[in-house]
Structure 1
Amino acid sequence: MRRHRHAKIVATVGPASASPERLKALFLAGVDTFRLNFSHGLHQDHARVHAAIRDLERETGRPIGILQDLQGPKIRIGTVAGGKLDLAAGDRVRFVPEGREGNARAIPLPHPEIFASVAPGQDLLIDDGRVRVRVTGVQDDALDAEVVTGGVISDRKGVNLPGTVLALSPLTEKDRADLAFGLELGVDWVALSFVQTPSDVIEARGLIGGRAGLMTKIEKPSALEHIEDIVRLSDAVMVARGDLGVELPPEDVPGRQKELVRACRRAVKPVIVATQMLDSMVSAPSPTRAEASDVATAVYDGADAVMLSAESAVGQYPVEAVAMMDRIIRRTETHRLYRSLVAASEPEVEDSPPHAVAAAAAGLADAIQAAAIVAFTLSGTTAARIARKRPNVPILAATPDPGVSRRLSLYWGAHSVLSEDIASYEAMAAKASELAQSEGFAQSPELVVVVAGIPFGTPGTTNNLRVIELGRDT
């Protein structure tokens, strides 16, 4: 079940893909990690999908990652008089707490945090930015605003506040219940929505502990102001271009995407590029050329993974969308410009022995044209450090921990495999040779670069580098 590509594929599960048969087809087409979107579905629905993925994992003998995506706070207007309100540029409007409308033109806003945080000159975007209003005055129980971009708004439409940091936890009561359920199921990653500041990540970390990897979704401009700290506190990052693209000018999103990918590579954290990557394949059997280019751009940027949302959750062609994404990644990674573009965005190696050893392993493997790099890792850190260099050879990540093995399925270039812990140089060479051959990465007399930490069994050391010739050094 070896993937002949480095970048990974994340696919969202929904009505179009929740059956065991469809999940298997998606996995065989190229899915490495499945996303369970807790904005939709009941707990029992997600439990059935989780069980089916674990059954598939046992059937195929390959670790499969499961990502739980929490809904987060949803800011919406209330019920407007008559069901809709037609606004034109230049109109004056008033937002009031729900239940205090008073007149037909008042727009209910059931979020006291907004009244406490917003300031004159800041914008409110309604219905994914289709309607934009600018705040002109603030009172304890009302916001006065002028319509900048008009349109029709109706009941319960979403509201974005790109220039406002709200005193609002990213974890609602629903999220806390969903998180407890997901951790009990045994999800591998938890994606946190509505992150504004580093303290939001710390709050979630306290609840998750070490039971799953914490993935921060970057979808608020305020998060970009603290991005270095947020990345450092996270285990992984998702560039959630949907909400981010509403709150940022569209022309800013591509540059921000590149900045985020580079920041994550520098911090040795996997990064997913998400939202509308092959959106036309929700209803069509092939993508637009612009969408194919979008996926390829994320791969050229060096992203660890690209994600399908509605395409695999509710689309008419979920398997075809995965297969198309797989083909785009493989073709991009074999293009003659790929290596030079990925190398151009390579961050400087951190000044520490573990990072230097990992970088040396990647460089050495490329220089001697090794068949693979075998990384023995307890926490996944060794494999992540090697992957940061984006070597031209595959990374065979061996770990005794099933949870780590599943999380590694999200990392660029990592083919994770369960293996008993090693305790000596001789065992290291013998196991590396065995795994490289049994997993189909190398055969005698090819060379393999082996990386491990000494003393064996100590997480995060990454201090030993060895080259072995299969059939001779074992």
Structure 2
Amino acid sequence: MRRNRRVKILATLGPASSEEAMIRKLHEAGADVFRINMSHTDHDTMRELVRRIRSVELAVGRPIGILADLQGPKLRVGKFKDGAVTLALGQDFTLDDNPEEGDETRVFLPHPEILEAVQAGHRLLIDDGRLQLLVLETDSKHIRCQVVAGDKISNRKGVSLPDTLLSSGALTEKDRKDLDAVLAVGDVDWVALSFIQRPEDLAEARKISRGRVALMSKIEKPQAVERLDEIIELSDAIMVARGDLGVELPLEMVPSIQKRITRAARKAGKPVVVATQMLESMITAPVPTRAEVSDVSVAVYEGADAIMLSAESAAGNYPVEAVATMNRIAEQIEQDPLYSGIILAQRSEPEATGADAVSLAARQMAETLNVAVIVTYTATGTTGLRTARERPMTPILALSPVLSTARRLSLCWGLHCVVTEDAYDLDAMIDTACRIAVEEGYARAGERVIITAGVPLRIPGSTNMLRIAHIGSDGLSAV
């Protein structure tokens, strides 16, 4: 199954899309990677979803990526005597460590780390910003605030802290248990870390996972934006989580931050996913709004590696239609004559490594010679990532002897991944590359392909070889 687009589609599974038949329909409609949201998924359900995805993978004969998204710290207020209260603009309202039910003057805040970290002048946003409080004074037991916007608060509403750096890490006890369960399955490729604030927040997850999964940092807090480059350096991939970004930052800033994050990740050669509310109206409607179509197109024009569906595919009335619609939008944008120029304008200078030099040369030669496809051998995935970083307009065929590598790379821009046996010598490698290029529909007899790999073979390391090969009438390399 060959996609007619370079950007990948990440679809969230849920009540509307948990059956194996539906997962296959979503894959056939365009989903390349499936997301399991651990905020709403218990361990038994997670294991069953993974089994069903792998069953579909076996049936279609193509690597499929799986992302487990950890919940992260959920900060919430306590309960009220009557379930909710109405506040007056400008009044005082206190959040404290008293577990008794709240009223119009105070409410319990079961998070001592907030009581310790918040300072006068900081903002507290309740219920996705519907209630905004300004901190007047604080100590280790209470936070006295002034109501500056909104007037209602009810039981267990979420608390956002756009100005406060919490001392606690990104992993909660629930996250640790979920991560252990994900690692025990052994068939999950990516783990997304929620509410990352600083690069140090990745340390614990990295230590626990020990390379068994790739780590994706979700950028959804102002503190993470401030240390973006450091977080990207320590992450395997990045997600632009626009939902919470739009709560903790002014909405008008989110588009520019999305571009900043996308371009920084592209420069570093790390996959970047744009997520949240991309086709939100398709939860209940069979077609999206014009604004949503434009929103998806912006991410595609920016060269994002993947675009994500959340509730649209997990709980909506039209999960298959949502994936198919996103697929059509992406295909159409990439056929736009302006697309290649926009992608070209955003390319970064290569880093001073052999792999980058070879990947740059492969892209330039492919476009100059108008070859059919770039074939890259990649055992660890590094070569595939560096080739994708160049954003060539020539298709990229990533061959790997390692199934887990092919699955991880299914998230990456432009990479069509095929699992193949490792080559035993250079001639066999060239023949295999030519044969698979023909079998996968990327080349025909008489056309040329470019092949990149590392020599000596079967030793993971930097790419250091580039070869132009001609396809013979038998589908192998012509002498």
Q: Tell me the TM-score normalized by structure 2.
A: 0.97
Distance change >3 Å, CA 294–CA 102, structure 1 → 2: closer
**1:468 Cα offset (Å):** 0.6
**Distance in 1 (alpha carbons) for counterparts of 2:317 and 2:40:** 18
Aligned mates of 2:327, 2:262 — CA distance in 1: 20
2:315 and 2:101 map into 1 onto residues whose CA distance is 37
What displacement does 1:458 show?
2.4
Secondary structure of 2:233's counterpart equals: helix
Provide the rounded CA distance (Å) in 2 between the counterparts of 1:444 and 1:102: 75
Cα-to-partner distance string for 1:93-130 (whole Å, 9 max, x where unaligned): 11111426686521211100011001110100000011
Shift of 1:369: 1.1
Within 2, Cα distance between the matches of 1:12 and 1:111?
30
CA-CA distance at 1:209 after TM superposition: 1.1
1:117 maps onto 2:122 in alignment: no
Query: Contact 2:79 / 2:102 at 8 angstroms: preserved in 1?
Result: no
Structure 1 partner of 2:461:
460
Tell me, yes or no, if structure 1 residue 173 matches structure 2 residue 178: no
Q: Is the 8 A contact 1:68 1:189 kept in 2?
A: yes
Counterpart position of 2:287: 286
- Check the 8 A contact 1:88/1:149 in 2, yes or no: no
Name the aligned partner's letter for residue 26 of structure 1.
L
Pairwise mapping of residues 95-114 of structure 1 onto structure 2 (< 5 A)? 95-99=95-99, 104-114=104-114
Taking structure 1 as reference, are residues 101 and 29 closer, same or farther at Cα in structure 2, changes over 3 Å only?
closer
Asked if the contact 2:81–2:102 (Cα under 8 Å) also holds between the matched residues in 1, the reply is: no
Using the aligned pairs only, state the percent identity.
Answer: 50
CA distance in 2 between counterparts of 1:45 and 1:351 reads: 46
Shift of 1:408: 0.8
Which stretches in structure 1 are left out of the alignment for 5+ residues?
none
- The residue number in structure 1 matching 2:133 is 133
Structure 1 partner of 2:327: 326
Question: The residue matched to 2:137 in structure 1 has which SS?
Answer: strand
Query: 1:435 & 1:221 partners in 2: Cα distance?
Result: 46
- Aligned AA (1:169): G
Is residue 78–residue 98 contact of structure 1 (8 Å, CA) maintained in 2?
no
Query: What residue number does 2:74 align with?
Result: 74
Match of 1:58 in 2: 58
Rounded Cα–Cα distance in structure 1 between residues aligned with 2:40 and 2:428: 48
Structure 2: unaligned runs, 5 residues or longer: none
Counterpart position of 2:478: 473
Q: Which is further off, 119-128 or 133-142?
A: 133-142
CA displacement 1:25-57 (0-9 Å, x = unmatched)? 000000000000000022111211111111111
Residue 406 of structure 2 corresponds to which residue in structure 1?
A: 405
Whichever residue aligns with residue 220 of structure 1, its letter is K
Deviation at residue 140 of structure 1 after TM alignment:
2.1
Aligned to 1:249: 250
Distance 1:285 1:323 in 2: 11
- Does the 8 Å CA contact 1:375/1:450 hold for their aligned counterparts? yes
1:277 equivalenced with 2:282 (yes/no): no
Residue 415 of structure 2 is matched in structure 1 by: 414
Following the alignment from structure 2 to structure 1, what is the Cα–Cα distance between the partners of residues 139 and 69? Answer: 36
Tell me, yes or no, if the aligned pair for 1:236 and 1:271 is still in contact at 8 Å.
Answer: yes
Provide Cα deviations, 1:240-298, integer angstroms capped at 9, x if missing partner. 00111110111111111111111111111100000000000000000000000000000
SS in 2 for 1:449: strand
- Contact 1:429/1:473 (8 A) holds in 2: no
CA distance in 1 between counterparts of 2:237 and 2:145 reads 38
| Residue 224 of structure 1: how far off its partner (Å) | 1.1
CA-atom RMSD in angstroms: 1.2
Q: C-alpha separation between the residues in 2 aligned to 1:271 and 1:90?
A: 42
Structure 2 match to 1:358: 359
Which residue of the partner structure matches residue 301 of structure 1? 302
Structure 1 counterpart of 2:162, one-letter code: P
The 5 Å alignment of 1:29-40 reads 29-40=29-40
Residue in 2 that maps onto 1:432: 433
Query: Within the alignment, does 1:142 sit opposite 2:147 as a pair?
Result: no
Q: Does the 8 A contact of 1:376 with 1:397 survive in 2?
A: yes
**Partner Cα distance (1:377, 1:88) in 2:** 61
Q: Is the 8 A contact 2:446 2:470 kept in 1?
A: yes
CA contact (8 A) 2:102 2:108 kept: no
Number of aligned residue pairs: give it: 474
Give how far 1:151 is off.
Answer: 2.3
Distance 2:144 2:47 in 1: 46
The answer as to whether partners of 1:81 and 1:104 remain within 8 angstroms in 2 is no
